[in-house]
Structure 1
Amino acid sequence: MSPRCCPPRNASASPKSASSVMNNIWIRGKRFPMSSLSKFDIFKFARSLILAAALPLGMTAAVMAPAAAQAAETMSVEVGKPLQAAQKLAKAGKYAAAMKKTREAAAVKKKTAYESFVVNDFMGYLAARLGDYASAVKAYETSYGSSYVPAAQKPKRLQALADMAYRGKMYGKAASFASQYQKSFGPDRHMQVLVMQSDYLRKDYPAAVKSAAVLVAAAEKSGKAPEESWLQIQMASAQQAGDKKMQASALRKLVKYAPSDVYWKQYLADTQRAIGTSDRMTLELDRILRAKGYMDSSRRYMEAAQIAIQLGLPGEAKALMDEGFKKGVLGGKDKNRELRLLNMAKKLAAEDKQSLAKDAPSPKGKAALGEAYASYGQYDKAIALYKSALAASFPEAGLTRLHLAQAYLATGRKAEARKALAGIKDGKAAKLAQAWLLLV
């Protein structure tokens, strides 16, 4: 449909020029080209986040110390005496000396099965206290399957194994132990976090995507927001695995559950790449930028206003220029040029407003007329025209439904806006609708 009241395009307002404002995006007052944002790397951030995490190890002492205490009463003197001495040294915090005594007990030949179990168990405990997690895991893994381990101790022992393997940077074992725990004793958030972190740190990114998804889905099912760190890891892992669909999903959830300018602007940059840079798509994205308060440069306001005029929406062009001057973004060194554009928008808008029809014969015409009324703040008329247009099937129905949702939002009818947006399933309009749903 040709613009209803617009001057012909000139060289300074060509489609390419008018759309170029979206080639850059602003984060914390600095300009970043779209090309740099497309390489936005969450990998290092997620890695530092994991390495800073502390996993509890206190359960180890509680699980293992009782076996050592029992040893002196039930063992031979050759084994029990050094173990008893080792226990006293351990209680005093002298773990290296305690380990030396425990090795004396381990050196005794012809030990019973129980004596071997207790000696091995206590060596594992001391190794953990000394930070020798490889030896601790080896000892605990050996004793875990023993008949001397009470069934009630099994869950805590397996948790201890998973935690120590993680601390010892044995990420494959950590993930295996944590997964085994959940298979044997049921879902556990701490163990699932450990699986996710271990998968990520051993660079099994497809597995990390899946283990993060388990945490995210469980949180959402319970009505809670997933933790930001889980989504960070999910996004970083998807990026490394080349899973663009999951990367986009994780970013969207970061915007939803942990909104920040960085996430929003990355999300909008991705949206812009998906919908393209035609004048129509640029104007649609500019409307989201306005809603988020991201129209922060004279160039952006000027080019958005020019596009609005070219698309037959001088009322929106005038509103853009008025807003830019009110915010103080316009009126600087290019004030004279900006005022000329404002005055042109005012003149065209006054003429256009007087000539607006009450209805149009085709669905496409009704939709265009509704958008014009909306640009002047006459949302009730716009809504009626949009609804009338949508009673029929036509190619621009997706965008018309999007504009209907925007009109609902402008009048505070959020529930109706959400319903309209949710009904947009295909094409570029669906990409835009997903962004608007995050704003409702």
Structure 2
Amino acid sequence: MRMIKTIKTLPYTVAAAALLAALPAAVPVIGSSAAMAQEAPKPAAKSRKVPALSLDVHKQIQKAQEAIDAKSYAEAEGILREVLAREKINDYERAVAWQINAMLAFEKDDTKGTIRAYEQILKYAESIPEALELQIMFGLAQLYFAEENYPKALQFVKQWETRAEVVGATQILFIGQLHYALSDYKKCVEYVNRAITDAQNSGGGVEVKESWYQLLMSAQWEQGNLKEVRDILEILVINWPKPVYWTQLAGIFGELGQETVSFSLTEAAYKQGFLDDKPQQIVNVAQIQIARQAPIKAAWILEKGFKDKRIEKTGDNQKLLGQSYMLASEWRKAVAPLEAAAKAGNDGDLWLQAGQVLMQLDKYAEALEAFDGAIKALSGQRAGEQRDRKLLTAQMQSGQAHTELKHFKEAEASFGAALKLAKADRDRKTANQWIAYMKAEKAREDMLEGKG
């Protein structure tokens, strides 16, 4: 039995969602629009001499902000162009004008324009409060992340991190995400763990989110740290008991060689209805029952899956059902699924199994039909040791069924074909013994009918 390794898809199914879910929004850091209310890093302010903002420039900046709030973007652009074209304004006033330009570009979903405006502000870094300069740096890191320019994002975040006096959990997490995007999974793990610890120590001020653990799990998976992935999945199962975590946890225990635990988790997920929309996983549960020496339970799971239309009656699934019944010695119930599977795939092996089951039930005529199907299917395959042995078995058992039905001429033909296929002395001896038995039966029948 081969278990499906659901965990194999982990990085693709989890990592992207984790990055999107946990990514802090990159927004301008000043302004009156509603977007400006979103969280931004808050490094401790430091003393820096900042020039004054003149009353006239203040009025123009206010008008531009009001135009942005009213969605009058062209008007706002005109006001800001006029302010920046002035010769007699100081660096602080230019920085403020570029801040409003950044807000305008953000409102227009112009990420590149927002980046340009932010970088213009940093040209006047010595004339703006240091806290604002650091916020701009972090904003640029976020914006470059959104543009998938991860090296540039890392450049700005490193500058920010070395100077910021306060680094919160969400900012730490963002740095972890950035390292994940750069495939530096070890650093990602370091930062995400820091973010979780920081949040847990905040006294409820910051909530540790599911996506944080998803990101951490993906980074550990990329490094092949299966035990760490298992530990994270256990946290996810306890706090966010979703079906996908149950199946992934079962898969990880399987990868770690703990098949018993893996089977138990998969079975528990099935019983809770977590696998109802996962046909292959339901089939896996049936296979688990076979591995646990409980084939009748495997058959029940498959029958219920067919009845509830959770799994399709494919040839492979019918084969598994028939074999489950065979292993459970439920011969009568094994026939229909084995025959259905044999017809679906013109499978000589399954025709042979169906014939053998019918022989157990003394249904010799039906067994002959199955053996004929096996002989036709196997004869169409390339000759080889395994194929020849199966064909030999089919011919031998066809001869036995003909003998039971007193079809002595046909039995002799089948045993003769078996003798031609027999290569080992033991097989030739068995065929000759059946031929002798068949001839004795024929002689007895002839005597009873007065032909002797």
Question: Which structure is higher in RCO with an 8 Å CA cutoff and minimum separation 6?
Answer: 1
Q: How high is the TM-score relative to the length of structure 1?
A: 0.49
Q: TM-score, normalised by structure 2?
A: 0.48
